[in-house]
Chain A
Amino acid sequence: MKLALGPHQYYWPRQAMMDFYADVADSPVDIVYVGESVCSRRHEMRLEDWFDVAHVLAEAGKEVVFSSLVLIESESDLKVLRKLVGQPDFRVEANDMAAVQALIRAGHKHWVAGPTLNVFNPATMDVFAEQGATRWAVPPEMAREAMDGLLAGCAVRPEVEVTAYGRLPLAYSARCFTARHFNLQKDTCEFRCLQHAEGMPLKTREGEAFLTLNGIQTQSAKVYNLLGDLPALQASGVDVLRVLPQSEHMAELLALFRRAIDGEIAPTEAFAQSQALMPEAPCNGFWHGKPGLEQYVAAA
């Protein structure tokens, strides 16, 4: 089982991002997803910067994948997409059907079907596999049982990647909720996301942490954590675990996942140790076919 660092969801200053990925190069991950997938207005990291990061990571022995923008609105979004697809060195994760279309047209044969492509059944997996998708990033809301069903039914089994850690990306909008909070419009947002390294907590009127506002993206408040479900992930034949970036304890988390995958620490113990590294309480409901925010303790 491989360990992947998913695409960065937040907007950080360029140097902070560079430092973050310099550390990642030394971490025990096998795959790193890079690039801006949330907001086309974010420009601290230019595409050239991402390519520099990608080359450094590749030299450190990582498989690098460029993750495409989830919400494509304009011709300039499409231009960036074409540049990603046009480069010869790295695989691309398609997070929108425009990316799929561009990859097919360019004749790519090893792309990743991203979690927002909504691949929920064998027939749809077959459509994308025939067009060159060789890895499937499971939509977070999909339960283990449905995932098993898809894998049993598709013509060619793809490499399977499950999001196993991080605040879950739950929704995308044309509207920027961070800008809205500051009574700004998106086009003149003053890049307020830069001041919120892990987004802005949204609580209910009785103080319960519910969601996280991250520009045009809405995330869970709770942190999805499948460390305790590792035996089930392995039994289902999952090939890759995806961990999403956070601002603190990233190196410890990746090391913990690595040790758990390699059997150097029991999953329950790894889950217990991860508590100190998380910014908020854990949840794993989706994997169990339940409301995402719920937490199920694996049966001993």
Chain B
Amino acid sequence: MMLPKKTLMSLSVAGVMAGLSLGSGYAMAQNAELRGNVRVVIGSTSTGGDTYQNASIVVDRLTEHLGVNMKVDAVGASSAFRTLDRDSRGNTLMIFHDQSYLGYLYGVQGYDDIFEKYTIGPTIAINPGNAYLVPMDSPYQTLDDIIEAAGNGETIRVSIQPGGVSEIGYSALKNAIAIEHPGQEENLVAINTGSQSDKNQQLFDGQADVINGSVQANEQYTRLPESDQKAMRFIWLTARQDTIEQAPEEGLGQTTREQLLEYVEPNVNVTMGGDESFTFDKEFFFLYNKDMDQGIVDQIDEALAEIYEEGEIQQAQLDAFFIPDFKPSAEASEYLQEKMSRYEEIITNIN
């Protein structure tokens, strides 16, 4: 069967035209706007955790503001990065926290340099709760006692989850001991543990002297009577002083902001050499595919700026014990890069 040449030609021309118009329509639609359904993957697999909570507070408001369907999926770090890698259309966004570059600094498998591989989006909030605790009846009253004891050759075991947010405070402490008591930093020993329950368990078992924890997860333990085997007390919050100062006055549970401030700098000082002292705020921010259109980056920046302008989101974050912390993407990227280089110094120092 032969079709007349003319018909074939016109058919193919029509086909090309249709393809072109479809393609250009697609390209135009792509230009500068989130559209269709958008999935926000997070670096945690827990839907009860702080990353999920933060992401959903922000995403709920973005959905409303932009009128786009957005949904948070707790797929975990490795899958989240992979999903983001594959989609440059802007249908996949990611929200994670400092773990994303700390994992890389600690050389954890599966983490790349996020500043090279992705576009950094805006920061949204801080979880000020990263804390270190000792048993209620511990001989160490302050962090200085611990630094001093390590300097005097006492072994101090710190239970942490290796390779990230939980370890950074430990590394800073080790660095401080190295500065104040050179050569003695080996006395601070990491016990590599998993979940919060495992870390608590290490303390109950007497297998650790200090544990990493959080205000949210451990506050009630600090209010148990001393006779209780489970009783603990805070010894250090890594947050900056002015971060905690922004927390609600009533603090968390029955521990007030006033009390929490006792455990942050300058009351607790972990030196980084010179006058500088170490702090760590766990900040949540967006990560985008490198090839995603700049228009979308701007669109989200603008939308968030307007949302934060309205002021309602701040209250929601504070109610959940998060500190509002919006920086548009360009500023966030610079800020986080600077933050990373400070921690990089610590980690190279102690290795």
On whether the two chains bind one another, the answer is no
Binding site for B on A (CB under 8 A): none
Interface on B for A, CB 8 Å cutoff?
A: none
